[in-house]
Structure formats: structure tokens, C-alpha cells
Amino acid sequence: MKTLYASIAAAVALSCALPAYAAPIPYSQPGTESTIQYNFTAAATGDVVAYFAGSNAANTNEIALLVNGVDTGRRGLNNHSSTYGAMLNFGMVNAGDSLVFKLVNVDLGSNVGPFYSDLTLNSDGRNHIYAANYGGDAFIPAGIAVGFEDLPNGGDFDYNDENFVFVNVANAAEVPEPASIALLLAGVAGIGASRRTKRARKA
């Protein structure tokens, strides 16, 4: 019995000693393709740094970066060998530079992907990322958390096959799908019509 208590005490002590960290921001609508078209830019002149934030993918993948449409030639953070918080410095960029993240499948090579944060570059025309602001933790600083789908046609759309946090990155635009834009315009038109009706009644 003493051995059992000692084992439990040791397990509790070990779990308390292990560092705690927040999970990347989860996608709120798993199974549904994200309708946001992301447009990332460099937030300031300086280095863009990627941090590995976890993976549940069977495929072996690495992350790369295009700056103003040109691949930096740096690729890494292999999801089967990187530890949480491991970093990859993509080097210097200028404030406002266009940034596109590129997920490369190492196992299947050119047969799958690559998949980009700019959905217009994806051969299947699907959105392979979800992104959100990330507040940081003990291992990864605050930045933009990006979750990838690494399978053709978007896989299961839970956007957690590969997770990274990128620092010195701004989300310059979130472009909703055309139906959302139409709904927004209809709402604005409705507000305008309501105001005109109220003015006419006062007159």
C-alpha cells in the first residue's frame, strides 16, 4: 500500500513540475470550411519568427514563407521532430511586406500540396488555414496563431493538423465570402431605408 501511495505522490509531483501552456486558439466550427480569406503582412521591419504549437497529423509537414511572392528558402519545424515552442526565424522583412505561409508535405512531396495561407494559391481552391490572435504563454510569445489542414480538399476542416504561432505578423484583411458581403450590404441598405422613413415622418 505504501508503494501505491508513493507512486501516486510521485506522479502528482511530476505533473506539478511539468510546465503548463495554453493550447493554440481552436477553430470554433470544426467540419465547416473557414470562409475567411486571410491577408498577412509584416507588422514592422524586423524578423518574422515561427513557433511550433503542436500537431495531430500523420503526414510529416514543414512550414515555409513567401515574402512578396518569393520563397525565403527557409523551411522547418517538422511536426514529428519539433517540440512545443521550437522556433524558426525566416529572417528580415519590411513593414507592410506581403506574407504567405506555405505548408509542405515532406512524406508525399509534390503529390500533396503544398498548401498556402492564401487560398487562391491552393490547387484545390480550398481554405487550408484558420488564424486568430494568440496571447502567448511561457514558451511562445504573443502573435498570430495559424492552424493548417494538410490534406487535399481541406480534410476534416478542424484546422489543427499543424499549429504555429507567427511573430511580427499582422492580419491585414479578413475577407468574408460573397454571401456574407451581400448580407452586410443588405443590412446597411436596411438601416438607410429606416432612417429615411423616420425623416419623412418627422417632416
C-alpha 159/C-alpha 154 separation (Å) is 9
Pairing of strands 98-105, 37-42: antiparallel
Report the chain's terminal Cα–Cα distance, integer Å: 89
* Residue 130, phi-psi category: left (phi > 0), alpha (psi -120 to 50), beta (remainder): beta
Q: Which residues are registered as beta bridge partners of 91? A: 48
Cα–Cα nearest to 119, from 131, 111, 110: 131
- Location of C-alpha cell 500537431: 55
Which value, in Å, is the radius of gyration of the alpha carbons in the chain? Answer: 22
Residue with cell 438601416: 191
Question: What pLDDT does residue 162 have?
Answer: 94
Q: Which pLDDT belongs to residue 181?
A: 41
The pLDDT score that the predictor gives to residue 96 is: 96
Give the whole-angstrom CA distance, residue 41 versus residue 67.
9
- Residue 63 pairs in a beta bridge with 76, 103
To the nearest 10°, the Cα dihedral for 126, 87, 43, 181?
Answer: 20
Measured in residues, the chain has a length of 203
The pLDDT, as a whole number, for residue 25 is 78
Q: What is the pLDDT along the chain (203 residues), one digit of tens a residue?
A: 544 444 444 443 434 443 444 456 789 999 999 999 999 999 999 999 999 999 999 899 999 999 999 999 999 999 999 999 999 999 999 999 999 999 999 887 667 789 999 999 999 999 999 999 999 999 999 999 999 999 999 899 999 999 999 999 998 655 444 444 444 445 545 555 555 555 555 55
